[in-house]
Structure 1
Amino acid sequence: MFTVSRADLGPGFTFGAATAAYQIEGGQTDGRGPSIWDSFAATGSNVKNHDDGSVACDHYNRWPEDLDLVRDGGFDAYRFSFAWPRLIPEGTGAVNKAGLDFYDRLIDGMLERGIKPFATLYHWDLPSALQDKGGWMNRDIAGWFADYAALIARRYGDRLHAVATINEPWCVAFLSHYLGVHAPGYRDLRAAARAMHHVLLAHGTGVDALRVEGAKNLGIVLNLEKAEAASDSPEDVAAADMGDALFNRWYLGGVLKGEYPKLLTDELAPYLPKTYERDMPVISRSLDWVGINYYTRGIYAAAPDQPFGITKVSGDLEKSDLGWEIYPKGLEDLLVRVSTDYTDLPLYVTETGMSEDDDSKRVAYYDGHLKAVANAKARGANVDGFFAWSLLDNYEWAEGYTSRFGIVHVDYDTQVRTPKGSYRAFQGMLHNTK
């Protein structure tokens, strides 16, 4: 069980569990269009065991059982994502009624169970038809995304407690267009620079469209890491500064201050859109909250022969089965940093969790990170909520089904759900109101 109590996080603090559409839904025979993850998973060895999300956790059919798990666990909220290709199969144009009806059922099911719907518009499953037009490399995506956002707001806006535009723009842009680890799998600096800008521009146009249609409580979800230098040498300190600019400051600065770090704009100048500065007022539209996803730290060393002159090195802390260091203090420091240096908006830890078969380690992970949130609040960070990643074991992107983050075990052959000790730890804490 946890050593942290609900009371330690203060009155009104929101506890939730999180998922993403492609990772759990399946249900790809209802008129849903193909996404970039369908083609990425079907290509070569991009994904372990050639796994794909065609069935995943069959949430499309089993959503009532999954929402019962959220309710019975004592969670206040459920963070889910809409699948753009399920709603608009070609990305623009004709709408899929079966997809619209599915999310009506899902959202109404949350409300019937007293669960607050925290929606994300984009969690990486871009319609393939839009990738054919350049996807995030094409400036037109800002308009495509705004139209999609407007549809969501008109259909569901009055029932959603909170709406995030984009989940983890660093992953959408850099991980997927420069490192090539996720769909669409590019390794191209120009592609990455364009995507880094356009994903934030689409966020801004999405916010505008949502507001025009009357949607409330709008935010974005940024994945951040604690960037640290491998040593005290000036070269390694400079490397950590570059790593922080790439992973953190580009997105924090763009969204919350309307500015990119000069360190990076100088580096990327040949590849960025020529008039990108004109878009900064749209990118930095006012928000109601900011989500932070956190998993680990990055330790940087100077590497003059490597791109951006940096390399990441491994630390000596305990690691998950993905090799990610377990570092709760990093979450505490990031929450304080964002509240101190960037915004006084409410912050939500919209994801944190651990890939691990030994669930006792997951219980300890969550306990440590809940304590980190309490510590951050004591230091003045304006943190209003915490979402566990993930409610279910699921399709973990390039790891396929080999990586389990869930607080509920899923047998992928039978689709039987079995709550783990980590689920019971949340349940015990959240049902204890003392």
Structure 2
Amino acid sequence: MTRQQSEEGFPEGFLWGAAAASYQIEGAAREDGKGPSVWDMFCRKPDAVWNGQTGDVACDHYHRYQEDVALMRDIGLRAYRLSTSWPRVLPEGTGAVNERGLAFYDRLVDALLEAGVEPHITLFHWDFPLALYHKGGWLNRDSADWFAEYTSVVVRKLGDRVKDWMTLNEPQVFAGAGHYEGRHAPGDRLRFAEVLRVCHHVLLAHGKSVQAIRAASPGRSNVYYAPVAQVKYPATSSPEDLEAARAATWSVNARTTWTNTWWMDPVFFGRYPEDGLRLFANELPEVRSGDMEIIAQPVDFCGVNVYWGVPVRAGANGAAEVVPHPVGHPITAFEWSVTPECLYWGPRFFYERYKRPIVITENGLSTRDWISLDGKVHDPQRIDFMARHLIELRRAIAEGAVVNGYFHWSILDNFEWAHGYKHRFGLVFVDYPTGRRVLKDSAHWYRELIASNGATLGG
């Protein structure tokens, strides 16, 4: 799958894209037969979301998708990572198909293809059907079959035109923040044993979804999923720090969902990591005969969302120690540390371990953007952030990591989950009261970068 390297450092045909998610941009929360999701429910909980905001309207992408696709074409995107809304397609989560909801994605895919933008579809980006939550949600082992049924419906409708599929987005987040920490939908704070049951059912759902995609696709498909990478990187160039960072990236050493191997080793190796099995020994879920074979369905790529990394060094016993950032280290509006190294070490470590071509399925930052007096939106920090990270990604490619694409998060400013509309991640500014879109300076910069296949990056 290795592609011819271009002089600019990015492979020929490198996939330059941007991403978004159904609940965060679509709106039309109760239109055309759509059923409620756990996020529709969660937004009604007192104090659950910043300023009581909801995704009811969001960017109104459901009604303005043609305008948004035209913007993607103007930016020159080669690919757009979207998600389909499970309760828009199946209002009860299973059973009767909502043809009006499915028709929206049919129109959207056609518009993207007409604009020369490849659709890459994520089947689950957190808007779980509320009706199925009432039946136990991810705690119910049947959730894997529910998800497979939904997968089949979508792929049968769109698979004649869509070749690239992701099953689940950031399972660490919707399992951990949603079911253990209670700060995301559905807002539960379960015992860790129940959380691990959720995790196992989610992994089963991934495997059964891969099977369903393969069965329903009329031709060749590329299938993977998009966990969020927990990247540890060496604080210095010493071999000891490098080994400490590698080991820390692949370790399970706390009762948390925020790990790599618990979510990825089962998919790529067909087994849970030994250190996690030891640590969680008294809380492990039921694993039935054949489960691991289902989870380990062959996938084509290793997709990862990468936003930041943590510098570490080798301690006295060789184990990783976190190295604090110096005072004044740059942070985003989300107060995430700016660590461009993550887009070098992340792809390098993930390619080294799993030996699949890497796709950066999300990377981006929140900034405090507004429309300036000149009518434009100036976001120099986003341009600088993208440039620094892409220079590191280019270095990873130059040193042997096979990386097939980069999706910037996100195409539009949007509903940022429990933070409401506080954060702006978009290449395109959205004035929510009017729905007006304005290309930010970063969108113009990205257009030039895409047109040159990275040659304008410099560095």
User: Do both share a fold (TM > 0.5)?
Assistant: yes
The code of the aligned residue for 2:199 comes to M
Query: Do structure 1's residue 219 and structure 2's residue 224 form an aligned pair?
Result: yes
The code of the aligned residue for 1:404 comes to R
1:176 corresponding residue in structure 2: 178
The answer to whether the Cα contact below 8 Å between 1:18 and 1:388 also exists between their aligned partners in 2 is yes
The answer to whether the Cα contact below 8 Å between 1:23 and 1:53 also exists between their aligned partners in 2 is yes
**Deviation of residue 277 (structure 1)?**
6.8
Q: 1:422 to 1:163 in 2, by over 3 A?
A: same
1:49 corresponding residue in structure 2: 51
The code of the aligned residue for 1:270 comes to N
Q: 1:156 to 1:370 in 2, by over 3 A?
A: same
Bigger mean CA deviation after superposition, 172-181 or 79-88 = 172-181
Deviations 1:11-30 (A, max 9, x none): 11010110000000001211
**Deviation of residue 51 (structure 1)?**
0.8
How do 1:13-162 and structure 2 match up within 5 A?
Answer: 13-28=14-29, 29-162=31-164
2:418 corresponding residue in structure 1: 398
Query: Do structure 1's residue 352 and structure 2's residue 358 form an aligned pair?
Result: no
1:306 corresponding residue in structure 2: none
The answer to whether the Cα contact below 8 Å between 1:81 and 1:119 also exists between their aligned partners in 2 is yes
Task: Work out which of the residue numbers 313, 325, 328 in structure 2 matches 1:315.
Answer: 325
The answer to whether the Cα contact below 8 Å between 1:245 and 1:261 also exists between their aligned partners in 2 is no
TM-score of the aligned structures, taking structure 1 as reference length = 0.91
Q: Secondary structure at the match of 2:9?
A: helix
**Deviation of residue 300 (structure 1)?**
8.6
1:412 corresponding residue in structure 2: 432
**Deviation of residue 367 (structure 1)?**
0.4
**Deviation of residue 87 (structure 1)?**
0.3
Whose helix proportion is higher, 1 or 2?
Answer: 1
**Unmatched 5+ stretches in structure 2:** 1-5, 314-319, 370-378
Q: Secondary structure at the match of 1:8?
A: coil
2:298 corresponding residue in structure 1: 286
The answer to whether the Cα contact below 8 Å between 1:6 and 1:429 also exists between their aligned partners in 2 is no
Q: 1:266 to 1:230 in 2, by over 3 A?
A: farther
**Deviation of residue 230 (structure 1)?**
10
Q: Secondary structure at the match of 1:341?
A: helix
Bigger mean CA deviation after superposition, 316-325 or 20-29 = 316-325
The code of the aligned residue for 2:82 comes to F
The answer to whether the Cα contact below 8 Å between 2:102 and 2:154 also exists between their aligned partners in 1 is no
Between the aligned partners of 1:10 and 1:93, the Cα distance in structure 2 is: 44
Bigger mean CA deviation after superposition, 166-175 or 397-406 = 166-175
Q: 1:313 to 1:39 in 2, by over 3 A?
A: farther
Between the aligned partners of 1:365 and 1:432, the Cα distance in structure 2 is: 19
The answer to whether the Cα contact below 8 Å between 2:175 and 2:257 also exists between their aligned partners in 1 is no
How do 1:208-357 and structure 2 match up within 5 A?
Answer: 208-214=211-217, 216-227=221-232, 241=251, 242=253, 246-275=258-287, 278-298=290-310, 315-316=325-326, 317-343=329-355, 345-357=356-368
Between the aligned partners of 2:248 and 2:347, the Cα distance in structure 1 is: 22
The code of the aligned residue for 1:271 comes to E
Q: Secondary structure at the match of 1:336?
A: helix
What is the RMSD computed on CA atoms of the aligned residues? 2.6
**Deviation of residue 324 (structure 1)?**
0.4
**Deviation of residue 211 (structure 1)?**
0.8
Aligned length: 419
**Deviation of residue 227 (structure 1)?**
3.1
The answer to whether the Cα contact below 8 Å between 1:172 and 1:199 also exists between their aligned partners in 2 is no
The answer to whether the Cα contact below 8 Å between 1:290 and 1:348 also exists between their aligned partners in 2 is yes
Between the aligned partners of 2:208 and 2:257, the Cα distance in structure 1 is: 24
Query: Do structure 1's residue 369 and structure 2's residue 392 form an aligned pair?
Result: no
1:203 corresponding residue in structure 2: 206
**Deviation of residue 132 (structure 1)?**
0.7
The code of the aligned residue for 1:274 comes to E
Between the aligned partners of 2:362 and 2:109, the Cα distance in structure 1 is: 20
Bigger mean CA deviation after superposition, 372-381 or 221-230 = 221-230
Q: 1:22 to 1:79 in 2, by over 3 A?
A: same
Between the aligned partners of 1:398 and 1:227, the Cα distance in structure 2 is: 26
Between the aligned partners of 2:288 and 2:177, the Cα distance in structure 1 is: 21
The code of the aligned residue for 1:223 comes to V
